[in-house]
């Protein structure tokens, strides 16, 4: 079943030749087309099949599910269970980075550490100037310490993860104002 | 029982494992690629961790990412589902080394069953009939000629690291042998990383019969009957059923006993499927074993009443077979149609947004799916949209229910194989239970001929 667009009326086509439309429709059926746009001497028609499926009934309308956004990663699970599963902070969706900043994202799943070792100073603090390739943090995965390097030169404006917290792939870690950009 | 399980998979099987976990009171952790951000398994799990970009190799197959997610979520066990890492012995070992229980067989057994020629010789040594063929890998052209002379033509050249219908070449004439042998080795190297091949006599018009097994970690193994999976296209199953129309209780008991004995010998545990080909004269030969839960497991669940996934989890946690599964009884008949996002005639993949989705119901109907209206079927993974299972007192009732269910299953926005399944069920030979693995090919050829007439 084809739905005619209202374009025919709006282009001011004086007489819509239904015979012509029917020819076009059977052309579509014959060649198994789902969509066809037809433009001839001021007549513009766009025909689109309601459903490609043999089971679909002409004109039937199915309730369209709302495109709900899924909930953000579930709230922290503090498990009240015995010691075998101590409560663990789940990777939180990190706060959004301000628009004019470049986001450094985590390329791996793991635990974020801001310093090379527990008693050392952090790699960077807010306000620090960094170069391309400079180490910003460590993400530990499977007992391996992975150094995460900055992919831009600029100033660290936001640090979005707390030391020792888990991060997932793609988590925003740092907001950096690229060098040469206005504040 | 485990406190928390990470599901290292996606789609309908992730949901399946999720529901088994929920029934057992186990917390669930989903891992997902960026393409699956809006998936149901992510939505319904207790926790969810993004592990990579869309491509499987960078996400679901990325062992460090999966293990890292398991560590930060502090899980006790990982269920690998089917496909992906489910038969990766390496992954099972990494889990063990990380003190995470891998819900499946031991790494050694996975490895054994993954090397198809080795599985063949081990099962032969353990008493299962195997197809006449080479004694392990065929190393060179001279050996290939020798085996061909002994076994006769036609024959199949199979990749040792292949399986699941991949990496196989048919040889019908002597002239074809050496070129096919060389090509098979080259293809095997490309696809599986090893050029090793073995050879087997070709079974003409075979029927694919497989036995479901379960084993605990205390050496006990049982079988849960057979499934027939002869309706395949290019070695990919499209429709499965249990019991097999040509199986009788006596043969089932005999074969089942042999299977159980063989698997006890090799120390098999968890769920698994032993695959056979049955030739026209009724002889049954072992071809390979799948050391994991399979796509078509629901038909066995329907006729036995046993929850295979829950059983896997319970036995991985140390429970004994007799406490998890009592004596197995077979009742009724079940059929499963794999509804794929493909053109029903050309099988061209049809990913995209589902615009309408209505699932059939009623007596004896089960639908395993992760799809929903407005969901997007991504192009990065397999094309399975839903598994439609119909159960009845007998094959006729199951078939009738399946036909009704197919009529009532509405999926719009993408193409699906629903029209093909309807055609299959209407075929007189299907109704009579007379088919072999070339059935779909013949049906397609007949259709093409009818259209061009």
pLDDT higher than threshold 50 for residue B224:
yes
CA distance A41 to chain B (A): 33
Put residue B74 in one of left, alpha, beta given phi > 0 → left and psi -120 to 50 → alpha. Answer: left
Can you tell me the mean pLDDT for B84-99? 97
All domains of chain B in start order, with CATH: 4-103 (3.40.50.20), 132-201 (3.30.1490.20), 207-452 (3.30.470.20)
**Confidence band, pLDDT 50/70/90 cuts, at residue B52:** very high
When CB atoms are compared, the residue of B4, B38, B64 closest to A141 is B64
List CB contacts of B23: < 8 A, sequence separation 6 or more: B307, B310
Can you tell me the mean pLDDT for A38-47? 71
pLDDT of B45: 98
Choose the mutation target among A34, A35, A53 for the interface with B, i.e. most B CBs under 10 Å.
A53
| pLDDT tens column, B332-346 | 999 999 999 999 998
| pLDDT tens column, B255-308 | 999 999 999 999 999 999 999 999 998 999 999 999 999 999 999 999 999 999
Pairing outcome for strands B27-33 and B47-52: parallel
E strand spans, chain A: 2-4, 35-40, 43-49, 102-105, 110-113, 129-130, 135-141, 144-149, 154-159, 166-167, 172-178
pLDDT of A92: 62
CA distance A15 to chain B (A): 33
When CB atoms are compared, the residue of A65, A74, A141 closest to B372 is A65
CB contact under 8 A, A170 and B34: yes
Chain A, nearest residue to B59 by Cα: A169
CB contact under 8 A, A73 and B48: yes
pLDDT higher than threshold 70 for residue A54:
no
**Residue of B201, B198, B132 whose CA lies nearest to B162:** B198
| Half-sphere CA count of A140, side-chain side, radius 13 A | 14
pLDDT of A27: 78
**Residue of B218, B231, B38, B258 whose CA lies nearest to B129:** B258
Cβ neighbours of B144 (radius 10 Å):
24
CB contact under 8 A, B73 and A88: yes
CB contact under 8 A, A109 and B49: yes
d(CA B109, CA B90): 12
pLDDT of A81: 35
d(CA B219, CA B217): 6
3-state secondary structure of B152: coil
pTM score: 0.82
CB contact under 8 A, A62 and B356: yes
pLDDT of B160: 93
d(CA A87, CA A77): 7
| pLDDT tens column, B403-445 | 999 999 999 999 999 999 999 999 999 999 999 999 999 998 8
Choose the mutation target among B50, B57, B341, B419 for the interface with A, i.e. most A CBs under 10 Å.
B50
pLDDT of A5: 40
d(CA B210, CA B329): 17
Can you tell me the mean pLDDT for B322-333? 96
Give yes or no: B292 in active site: yes
| pLDDT tens column, B63-81 | 999 999 999 999 999 999 9
A79 contacts chain B (CB < 8 A) = yes
pLDDT of A24: 76
Q: Which residues of B touch A66 (CB under 8 A)?
A: 374
CB contact under 8 A, B410 and A88: no
pLDDT higher than threshold 90 for residue A3:
no
CA distance B167 to chain A (A): 33
Can you tell me the mean pLDDT for A12-20? 59
pLDDT of A83: 36
pLDDT of A15: 55
Q: Which residues of A touch B67 (CB under 8 A)?
A: 141-142
Listed by number, the residues of chain A in 120-139 with a beta carbon closer than 8 Å to a beta carbon of chain B are none
B15 or A48: which carries more pLDDT confidence? B15
pLDDT of A55: 35
| pLDDT tens column, B31-41 | 999 999 999 99
| CA distances (Å), origin B50, targets A102, A160, A171 | 21, 17, 9
Q: Looking at A107-111, B22-26, B158-162, B370-374, which range is the least confident one?
A: B158-162
All domains of chain A in start order, with CATH: 2-49 (no CATH), 102-178 (2.40.50.100)
B64 contacts chain A (CB < 8 A) = yes
What phi and psi, each to the nearest 5 degrees, are found at residue A105?
A: -110, 155
How does DSSP classify residue B265? H
Choose the mutation target among B356, B410, B451 for the interface with A, i.e. most A CBs under 10 Å.
B356
When CB atoms are compared, the residue of A56, A77, A86 closest to B47 is A77
Q: Which residues of A touch B76 (CB under 8 A)?
A: 84-85
What phi and psi, each to the nearest 5 degrees, are found at residue A111?
A: -110, 130
| pLDDT tens column, B142-201 | 999 999 999 999 999 999 998 777 788 999 999 999 999 999 999 999 889 999 999 999
Choose the mutation target among B53, B57, B68, B352 for the interface with A, i.e. most A CBs under 10 Å.
B68
CB contact under 8 A, A62 and B373: yes
Q: Which residues of B touch A73 (CB under 8 A)?
A: 47-49
The catalytic position among B16, B292, B338, B401 is B292
pLDDT higher than threshold 70 for residue A181:
no
Listed by number, the residues of chain A in 153-182 with a beta carbon closer than 8 Å to a beta carbon of chain B are 166, 168-171
The residues facing B110 across adjacent strands are none
pLDDT higher than threshold 50 for residue B122:
yes
**Confidence band, pLDDT 50/70/90 cuts, at residue A16:** low
| pLDDT tens column, A163-173 | 999 999 999 99
pLDDT of A182: 56
**Confidence band, pLDDT 50/70/90 cuts, at residue A90:** low
CB contact under 8 A, A64 and B69: no
The token duo for B349 is: 């993949």
Chain A, nearest residue to B417 by Cα: A53
With 0-12 CB in 10 A as exposed, 13-18 as middle and 19+ as buried, what is A60? exposed
| Half-sphere CA count of B365, side-chain side, radius 13 A | 19
pLDDT higher than threshold 70 for residue B61:
yes
Average pLDDT in chain B:
96
Q: Which residues of A touch B71 (CB under 8 A)?
A: 141-142
pLDDT of A23: 78
d(CA B446, CA B51): 46
Q: Which residues of A touch B27 (CB under 8 A)?
A: 77, 79
What is the ipTM score, two decimals?
0.82
| pLDDT tens column, A111-160 | 999 999 999 999 999 999 999 999 999 999 988 999 999 999 999 999 99
| pLDDT tens column, B302-318 | 999 999 999 999 999 99
CB contact under 8 A, B65 and A73: no
Q: Looking at A34-43, A131-140, B122-131, B225-234, which range is the least confident one?
A: A34-43
A172 or B448: which carries more pLDDT confidence? A172
List CB contacts of A176: < 8 A, sequence separation 6 or more: A101, A102, A103, A104, A130, A150, A152, A154, A155, A156, A157
What phi and psi, each to the nearest 5 degrees, are found at residue B398?
A: -60, -40
């Amino acid at each position: 079943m084809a739905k005619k667009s209202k374009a025919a009326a709006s282009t001011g086509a004086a007489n819509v030749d239904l015979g012509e439309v029917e020819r076009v429709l059977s052309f579509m059926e014959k060649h198994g087309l789902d969509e066809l746009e037809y433009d001839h001497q001021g007549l513009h028609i766009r025909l689109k099949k309601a459903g490609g499926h043999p089971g679909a009934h002409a004109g039937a309308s199915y309730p369209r599910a709302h495109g709900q956004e899924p909930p953000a990663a579930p709230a922290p699970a503090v498990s009240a269970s015995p010691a075998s599963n101590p409560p663990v902070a789940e990777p939180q969706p990190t706060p959004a980075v301000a628009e004019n900043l470049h986001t450094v994202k985590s390329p791996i799943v793991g635990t974020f550490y801001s310093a090379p070792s527990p008693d050392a100073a952090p790699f960077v603090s807010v306000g620090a100037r960094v170069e391309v390739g400079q180490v910003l943090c460590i993400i530990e995965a499977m007992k391996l310490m992975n150094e995460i390097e900055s992919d831009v030169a600029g100033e660290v404006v936001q640090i979005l993860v707390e030391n020792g917290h888990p991060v997932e792939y793609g988590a925003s870690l740092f907001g950096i104002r690229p060098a040469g950009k206005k504040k | 029982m485990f406190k928390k399980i990470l599901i290292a998979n996606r789609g309908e099987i992730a949901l399946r494992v999720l529901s088994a976990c929920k029934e057992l009171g186990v917390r669930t952790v989903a891992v997902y690629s960026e393409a699956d951000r809006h998936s149901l398994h992510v939505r319904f799990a207790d926790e969810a961790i993004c592990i990579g970009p869309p491509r499987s190799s960078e996400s679901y197959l990325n062992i460090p990412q999966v293990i890292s997610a398991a560590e930060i979520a502090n899980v006790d066990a990982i269920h690998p589902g089917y496909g992906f890492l489910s038969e990766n012995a390496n992954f099972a070992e990494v889990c063990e080394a990380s003190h995470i229980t891998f819900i499946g067989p031991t790494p050694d057994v996975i490895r054994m069953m993954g090397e198809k020629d080795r599985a063949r010789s081990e099962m032969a040594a353990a008493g299962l009939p195997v197809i006449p063929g080479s004694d392990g890998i065929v190393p060179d052209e001279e050996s290939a000629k020798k085996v061909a002379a002994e076994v006769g033509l036609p024959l199949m050249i199979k990749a040792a690291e292949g399986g699941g219908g991949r990496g196989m070449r048919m040889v019908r004439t002597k002239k074809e042998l050496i070129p096919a042998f060389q090509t098979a080795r080259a293809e095997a190297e490309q696809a599986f990383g090893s050029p090793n091949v073995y050879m087997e006599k070709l079974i003409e018009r075979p029927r694919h019969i497989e036995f479901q097994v379960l084993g605990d970690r205390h050496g006990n193994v049982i079988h849960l009957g057979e499934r027939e999976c002869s309706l395949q296209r290019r070695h990919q199953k499209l429709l499965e059923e249990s019991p097999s129309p040509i199986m009788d209780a006596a043969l089932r008991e005999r074969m089942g006993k042999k299977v159980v004995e063989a698997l006890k010998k090799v120390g098999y545990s968890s769920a698994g499927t032993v695959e056979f080909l049955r030739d026209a004269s009724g002889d049954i030969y072992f071809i390979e074993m799948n050391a994991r839960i399979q796509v078509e497991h629901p038909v066995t669940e329907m006729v036995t009443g046993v929850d295979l996934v829950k059983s896997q989890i319970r036995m991985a946690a140390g429970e004994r077979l007799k406490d998890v599964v009592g004596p197995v009884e077979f009742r009724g008949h079940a059929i499963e149609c794999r509804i794929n996002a493909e053109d029903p005639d050309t099988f061209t993949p049809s990913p995209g947004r589902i615009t309408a989705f209505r699932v059939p119901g009623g007596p004896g109907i089960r639908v395993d799916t992760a799809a929903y209206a407005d969901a997007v079927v991504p192009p990065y993974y397999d094309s399975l949209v839903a598994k439609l299972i119909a159960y009845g007192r007998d094959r006729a009732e199951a078939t009738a229910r399946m036909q009704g269910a197919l009529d009532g299953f509405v999926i719009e926005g993408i193409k699906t194989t629903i029209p093909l399944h309807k055609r299959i069920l209407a075929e007189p030979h299907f109704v009579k239970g007379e088919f072999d693995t070339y059935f779909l090919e013949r049906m397609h050829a007949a259709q093409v001929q009818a259209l061009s007439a």
